[in-house]
Amino acid sequence: MAEITAKQEKAIAALIAEQTIRDAAARSGITEQTLFRWLKDKNFNAEYMRARRDAVQQAVARMQSATCEAVETLRAVMNDCKARGSERVSAAKAIIDFAYKGIDLEDFAARLSAIEAAVKDKPK
């Protein structure tokens, strides 16, 4: 973890929360010029990127937690005889597409693991 000040931590939180540099600077109580200068600083930028990755990981986790509900919604539309045919087909196609993507990801992970094991076992 890089060494940054409490004010810089506040600026990073503002950068993640606000839409613009101007708004982030105002929320942090600093000038835009200071924020731009900090963004060029290696330590500040490393912490900012870490915070952004954390924010995205949290968002992905929230989306993943809604996966079961999303599948149930697709299934409900697919099986709803009162829904338009195009809606039912779209829901069915989405389910099939996601199932194939899941298999592809599992296959990719298995191949990657095999490659990593081969590289690790390769004599140097």
- Domain boundary (44, 63, 82) is at 63
Please check whether residues 78 and 108 belong to one and the same domain.
yes
- pLDDT for res 36: 97
- Domain boundary (33, 63, 93) is at 63
Please check whether residues 76 and 116 belong to one and the same domain.
yes
Contacts of residue 55, defined as CB under 8 A and 6 or more positions apart, other chains included, come to 16
Does a structural domain hold residue 47?
Answer: yes
pLDDT tens digits for range 50-109: 999 999 999 888 888 888 888 899 999 999 999 999 999 999 899 888 888 888 989 999
Tell me the average pLDDT of the chain.
92
Domains held by the chain: number: 2
Please check whether residues 38 and 73 belong to one and the same domain.
no
Please check whether residues 59 and 70 belong to one and the same domain.
no
pLDDT-derived band at 3 (thresholds 50, 70, 90) equals confident
Does a structural domain hold residue 117?
Answer: yes
Please check whether residues 12 and 23 belong to one and the same domain.
yes
Domain that holds residue 32: 6-63
Does a structural domain hold residue 102?
Answer: yes
Does a structural domain hold residue 1?
Answer: no
The residue with greater pLDDT, 124 or 113, is 113
pLDDT tens digits for range 17-61: 999 999 999 999 999 999 999 999 999 999 999 999 999 999 888
- Domain boundary (63, 78, 104) is at 63
pLDDT at 2 over 70: no
Please check whether residues 78 and 112 belong to one and the same domain.
yes
- Residue count of the chain, please give it: 124
Q: Are 2 and 41 in contact (CB under 8 A)?
A: no
- pLDDT for res 1: 61
- For the entire predicted model, the pTM comes to 0.62
Please check whether residues 104 and 59 belong to one and the same domain.
no
Does a structural domain hold residue 57?
Answer: yes
Q: Are 27 and 17 in contact (CB under 8 A)?
A: yes
